[in-house]
Amino acid sequence: MTVTRRKSQNAKISPVYRGRRLVLLMVLLAGMAVMLVRAGYLEIFQQTWLQAQADKRQMRTMTVPPYRGQIIDRNNDALAISSPVETIWTDPRKFWDVRNNLRKAIAEKDEDSAAAQDKLDDLDVNLQKAEALLSMTSGELTKLLTDNKTKRFVRLAVQAPPELAQDIADLNIPAIGSHSEYRRFYPMAESVAHVVGFTNIDDSGVEGIELSMNQELAGKAGEKRVIQDGAARLIEDVEQVERMVPGQDVQLSIDRRIQYQAYKVLKEQVTQLSAKAGSVVVLDARSGEVLAMANMPGFNPNARGSLKPENYRNRALMDAYEPGSTLKPLTLAAALEARVIGTEVSIDTNPGKLKLGKTTVTDPRNYGTLTLDMVLAKSSNVGASKVALLMDAKDHWMFLNRVGLGLRPDSGAPAETNGSLSYYDKWGEVDRASHGYGYGVSVSLLQLAQAYTIFANEGVMYPAKLIRQTEEPVGQRIMKPENARAVLRMMTAVVKEGATGRRAMIDGYTVAGKTGTAFKYINKKYRKDRKVVSFIGLAPASDPRLIVAIMMDEPRVERANGGRLVAPMFSKIMSSSLRVLDIPPDDLPKQRASSKTNGGAS
């Protein structure tokens, strides 16, 4: 009986179950049909839109920074190079969105709240680790994020090592990432800083050759599409949108060996004399190329955070000063070209002074009658004034203008000074005389060195250049060869025993040059306690290869003059430069004896 009853009950329930199963099956089939239709619709009609949405979340267009070109010296030694660094950044708005979402999940107290709490705790711990890595104080990073919570981009560190950026990335802090850049490094540091200059935080040149040649050095940034994960980490490069063009290398005419020696000597002397400033220029006399250009005060472009902007000035080409007696050889050259004197004339400087209206030109003592050699050797202001007064003002002005006074040298550096050379129709008698011994005009040290190339090349001037020349330099004839040779010979009398430039002598080499001492014009009067002292010379004088010009601004010592303070610097810099370039001596004992024998025979 019992068995029969169960069978009867099962028979009665079975159709109901079958109906329910049928309904469930139909619902499932309907759901699957809807899903298939929906999938087909999305695949066929919404594919483009969906791909775009995916790209927005995962695909990014990244800028590929260009590799900045090197600055190298004439021997291909690096003066400025780029090394890879990272800029670490944060998106404060996104950071706070993530943090607020975690707090919201915790407040809901559902099954996800525990996981959200763990993530929030990890975030706080990792923020502290990031502060330590970034050398921040405790709480500093949180405060930075709070103070900038509406911003989308804030730098946390610039020019950071790639290793530091990777350590930060490993913390997986939301909205903190990094991108690659390049940091400029200067191997010769302060010794060539004024010439090379430096770049700013965006790797763009702001001083020196870095500025004047920025377009060539900078290159052009590229773009590429990449896939990133939620933490902005790179997963895959997709395609190159625009090719990155690396910067070109720029080769300077500078010889780093000569540059270093010039800077070393200049720094020692400026420090010893407590001078306000100083500059050195070394030129290749046959091409006008600048082999060295050093300045003090100096600065280290690799660590310049605490330096003053005035230390960045390349005084050798940006500052103009009255050259004083270093202009006298150009006065004699102009007079020879104007044919108002001959090479054998003598100048009567008695009684050691020259009265011009209310102005009196004086010499240290009465030198009497001087040959042109002795006008330079004794550095006679009276003699130079009388020679200048023999010339027509127009002829004198035209000569000075032809050798580059009052004109930018256009050497390849930025912000060169023109100096000053007033037009000749404004010259009175005092102006004509003072221009003869280097007052009333102003020049940069580079301008003066460039002008002296006429004495090295038999009257042809070569423009001064900081960029290495790939073609034969083209000079401009300024004066007759015989007149240039005559003035060069006269300048050798300056660098002999008993003359003002005797301390510029170099064993084994003949030297031609000129000392200079000029009072500074301050508040409409010349200050005898403020001087600019200088020396410029050529060697070997028999066949000049190098020109060295040196200027010292306001040395704080007694009896400051170019012959006493600057001529010894010239001797050191010129002699080391001659050795570096392996230029043979022209004044060894055997050569002197041979010269005397040949002279006697003729």
Cα gap 386→32, rounded to integer Å: 113
E strand or H helix at 484? helix 481-492
Q: Is 373 helix (H, G, I), strand (E, B) or coil?
A: helix
Q: Is 103 helix (H, G, I), strand (E, B) or coil?
A: helix
Among the listed residues 287, 325, 534, 571, the single catalytic one is: 325
Burial class (CB in 10 A: 0-12, 13-18, 19+), 126: middle
Neighbours of 82 (CB within 10 A): 21
Burial class (CB in 10 A: 0-12, 13-18, 19+), 30: exposed
Residue 147 has φ and ψ, to the nearest 5°, of -65, -20
Structure tokens at 597: 């024998």
Neighbours of 79 (CB within 10 A): 23
Burial class (CB in 10 A: 0-12, 13-18, 19+), 390: middle
Spatial contact of 409 and 444, defined as CB atoms under 8 Å apart = yes
Letter string b/e over residues 541-560, b meaning 16 or more CB atoms within 10 A of that residue's CB:
beebbbbbbbbbbbbeeeeb
| Block residue for tokens 């330099």 | 473
Residue 400 has φ and ψ, to the nearest 5°, of -60, -35
Listed residue (74, 40, 49, 68) closest to 581, CA to CA: 74
**Cα 202 to chain centroid, rounded:** 15
Query: What radius of gyration do the chain's Cα atoms show?
Result: 39
Cα gap 166→160, rounded to integer Å: 10
- Catalytic residue list contains 325: yes
Using the 8-state DSSP alphabet, how is residue 468 labeled?
A: P
Structure tokens at 489: 């010979």
Query: Which residues belong to the active site?
Result: 325
